Amino acid sequence: MAAGRHRLPRAIELLCENPAKLLGVWPRKGTLLPGSDADFVLVDLDERYVVTEERVQSKVGWSPYVGWELEGAIKTTVLRGSVIADQGDVVADARDGRYVAGHPQRP
C-alpha cells in the first residue's frame, strides 16, 4: 500500500477529519461515530489504474490527471448510509444530496 506514504489513520485525518473540522461540520461529517452521517468510501488500496477521460465523472468533464497511474481505487461510495456509487457507476439520484451548512474555523 503506497510504500513510504502516510499510514491509513493519518490519511483519514488529512482527507476527512481535518477538512470537516475546518468547515465546521465535524463531527457530523469527517468521522464514523454514533450520530454522524455515515459517509465513507471503500477503497482497494492495492489496485493500480490509469486515469482516462472515460473514468472522469465531473461537471467539467475533464481532469488534469488523465494519463496518470494511481494506486488505490475507489470501489463504493456511501452517503448517509446509502450506496450512491458502486464499481465506477453512480447509482443514486443527484437529488439525494443535501446542503450542510458549516462555519469555517480558524486553523
The model's confidence at residue 2, banded by pLDDT at 50, 70 and 90, is low
For the stretch 49-73, pLDDT in tens is 999 998 887 888 789 999 999 999 9
Which helix (H) or strand (E) element contains residue 21? helix 18-22
Q: What is the pLDDT of residue 47?
A: 95
- pTM here is 0.76
| pLDDT of 21 above 90 | yes
Average pLDDT in the chain:
88
Question: Which residues are CB-neighbours of 18 under 8 A, at least 6 positions away?
Answer: 30
| pLDDT of 1 above 60 | no
Q: Are 73 and 43 in contact (CB under 8 A)?
A: yes
